[in-house]
Chains A and B, each alone.
Chain A
Amino acid sequence: PPRSAMPKHEFFVDMTCEGCSNAVTRVLHRLGGVQFDIDLPNKKVCIDSEHNVDTLLETLKKTGKNASYLGEKSAQ
């Protein structure tokens, strides 16, 4: 399917500041193979990736923050 039609995975990550979101950005970059948007005010991270949900959630939890899977979010 075209990339724009792929569902994105939405996660809750308990971020409170720029430092937190930067930490999330770094761990996701180090994992590689991900495209993502971080919504700091709503504490949400939207990820488009070939990796499965478990891998993504484990990666997010590496930051030491509370993280949980919210579900798929279809592309607009």
Chain B
Amino acid sequence: METKSIVIGVEGMTCNSCVQTIEQHVGKMNGICNIKVSLEDKNAVIIYDSKLQTPATLQEAIYDMGFEATLADANP
């Protein structure tokens, strides 16, 4: 397993309920080791198995839930 970390910008969250929904939904996907969503920073920090997920599939998963998801710099 090759774990990678990514930060995805998330627009449209307004409360902790939104945060928890994303954490639970994305957290259940295959290959997700850890997800931490921040309401203040408007982003999601995801640690994932790069054999099972890619930045694009993670971005799409959040987009599909009805939020605007943008890929931040992968190497900040």
Indicate if the CB atoms of A16 and B66 lie closer than 8 Å: no
List chain A residues, Cβ under 8 A from B14.
17-19, 22
Chain A interface, number of residues (Cβ within 8 angstroms): 15
**B2 an interface residue at 8 Å Cβ cutoff?**
no
A-B contact count (CB 8 A): 45
**Could you say which of A16, A17, A23, A65 contacts B67, with CB atoms under 8 Å apart?**
A23
**0 or 1 for each of B1-30: is its CB under 8 Å from A? (1 = yes):** 000000000001111011001101100000
Using CB atoms, name the residue of chain B closest to A65. Answer: B21
Q: How far is the CB of B69 from chain A (nearest CB, A)?
A: 11
Q: List 28 A-B contacts (CB under 8 A).
A: A17-B14, A17-B17, A18-B14, A19-B13, A19-B14, A19-B15, A19-B18, A20-B15, A20-B17, A20-B18, A20-B21, A22-B12, A22-B14, A23-B12, A24-B66, A25-B66, A26-B66, A27-B64, A27-B65, A27-B66, A62-B65, A62-B66, A63-B65, A63-B66, A64-B22, A64-B25, A64-B65, A65-B21
